[in-house]
Structure 1
Amino acid sequence: MSKRWTQIIIGITILGLFFGWIRHVDAQAEQDAQLLLSVAKPYMQSNEHITFKYTGYFGTCDGVDAKVMDAGERLSNKLGFQSHTSNESISLKSGIYTVKSEVAESAVVTLTVASPVGQSACYAVVRLDAPGSADQSQLLKWQEQVTAQLTEQGIQGMWNVMIQGNAAEAISISNDPKEFLSELVQAYKGKVVERYEDGTTFSASVVSSEFEASIRSGSQKVNVQIALHLDTTSGLWRLTIGTPIITMEY
């Protein structure tokens, strides 16, 4: 995760936490993730990538690197990261603490603790990146365990779950990507509240009562975002789906 992208994600979270744009109930987090992944599977080829990300407020660091480092070390230990072991990588740059650890099935967990410039607060981001071949039941179990650990630490925030991969070959979207997008919206029992289209990208923000997590965009509530992007080099359409929003490049 680049420094710029970390700051963007933290910025989104700050807006949500302090202006009430994000609504989330932890007890429903696993159900939201399971629904997102299970519905997406038939629409993607086997090379998909899955991301679980939790972002929340984590006390005060006053923008001081030493305090950020201390907060990061304390949280990493609570989450089961064993500092300075062979399978981990730790760094502290410009007020951003990062530690990575490999877990089962080629998944990588990253903990980032940061204190944005001009603020006293610390924010924590726990992110798991896994290949589409990973056992989804194990990913959901990991999410449940991390939710419990973060709650014990008094960290209040939100889960953001995303899946990305090439659209399934069995479903033709070469002639009408909008029809493909519409089919996915129906699969999530949703209604489109916002759209974006250009020559190579089609995206929809969707409200669906099937999901608990949500974010407000203006006056609209959004539970799921779906995006299609044409890779002009390969000629393949890349599909990205996220709840409550997409916070990765698509």
Structure 2
Amino acid sequence: MSKFWTQTLIGVTIIGLFFGWIRHVDAQAEQDAQLLLNEAKPFIQSDYKVTFKYTGYYGTCDGSDSKIMTAGASLSHELGVKESNNQVLPSQPAIFTIRSEVEPGAVMTLTVASPVGQSACYAVVRLDASGHVDQDHLLKWQEQMSTRLKDQGIPGNWNVMMQGNAASDVISSQSNPKEFLKDLAHTYKGNVVESYEDDTTYSLSLASTAFEGFITSGKHKVNVQIALHQDTTSGLWRLTVGTPVITMEY
């Protein structure tokens, strides 16, 4: 994980924890994930990828490289990360990263870092999986990880995303990519509260009572984001969905 993305995730966490912009009910996290994935499947090709990401506050490290590494090693043990490849990345502050294959096609990454000028430590637990991994296994992993993180007293929130090429039969039946997104938004029972478009990208932010997790953007509650981006070389449309938001490149 690059320093840029790690720092971005830490920034989002600080906003959520201290300004109340992010809310999530633990008991609903797995239900939100299941709903997001199930409803998107008719709209996406089977070679998609799924990302589960939990970001939370993990005590104080006093900006010390050694304390960050110690905190990371301790947390990795408590979370049951067995195979590892940890390192201090060549940046300031120090970043602890450890990776483990959960099962073929699914890799877990734990990152522990501290923002510049702060004593706090933050943990990011991430699972990247291919669409060929059994979805029930992924949801079970999320449930177990939620319990372990709660046991460690790490407050935070889940972010779940799915990305792959849009189903060709579905998008080809639409004369306008906006209609494709409109149909998906309807599937999520979402009301559009924000939108963006340019020559190759269309995205919608939705408020949906079907989901529990949300962020507040301006005056709006956002539960789901959906986006289409066209590859200018292949002409294919890439679909990305996320709850409560998308934090990967479209």
Same fold (TM over 0.5): yes
Partner of 1:35: 35
Partner of 1:60: 60
Partner of 1:170: 169
Offset, 1:23: 0.8
Partner of 2:87: 91
1:68 touches 1:115 (CA, 8 Å); kept in 2? yes
TM-score, with structure 1 as normaliser: 0.97
TM-score, with structure 2 as normaliser: 0.97
Two-structure CA RMSD over aligned residues (Å): 0.9
**Higher mean displacement: 2-11 or 71-80:** 2-11
Consecutive unaligned residues of structure 1, counting only runs of 5 or more, are none
SS of equivalent to 1:170: helix
Offset, 1:209: 0.3
Matched residue type, 1:130:
A
2:105 touches 2:132 (CA, 8 Å); kept in 1? no
2:72 touches 2:111 (CA, 8 Å); kept in 1? yes
Consecutive unaligned residues of structure 2, counting only runs of 5 or more, are none
Offset, 1:91: 1.1
Offset, 1:12: 1.1
Once residues 125 and 217 of structure 1 are traced to their aligned partners in structure 2, the CA distance between those partners, rounded to angstroms, is: 22
Count of paired positions: 246
2:88 touches 2:96 (CA, 8 Å); kept in 1? yes
Partner of 2:185: 185
1:205 aligns with 2:209: no
Once residues 81 and 169 of structure 1 are traced to their aligned partners in structure 2, the CA distance between those partners, rounded to angstroms, is: 39
Matched residue type, 2:220:
Q
Partner of 1:152: 151
Query: Percent identity among equivalent residues?
Result: 66
Offset, 1:99: 0.2
Offset, 1:175: 3.1
1:88 touches 1:102 (CA, 8 Å); kept in 2? no
Once residues 106 and 177 of structure 1 are traced to their aligned partners in structure 2, the CA distance between those partners, rounded to angstroms, is: 31
2:109 touches 2:126 (CA, 8 Å); kept in 1? yes
Matched residue type, 1:9:
L
Once residues 38 and 106 of structure 1 are traced to their aligned partners in structure 2, the CA distance between those partners, rounded to angstroms, is: 19
SS of equivalent to 1:89: coil
Once residues 13 and 231 of structure 1 are traced to their aligned partners in structure 2, the CA distance between those partners, rounded to angstroms, is: 31
1:13 aligns with 2:9: no
Once residues 67 and 219 of structure 1 are traced to their aligned partners in structure 2, the CA distance between those partners, rounded to angstroms, is: 39
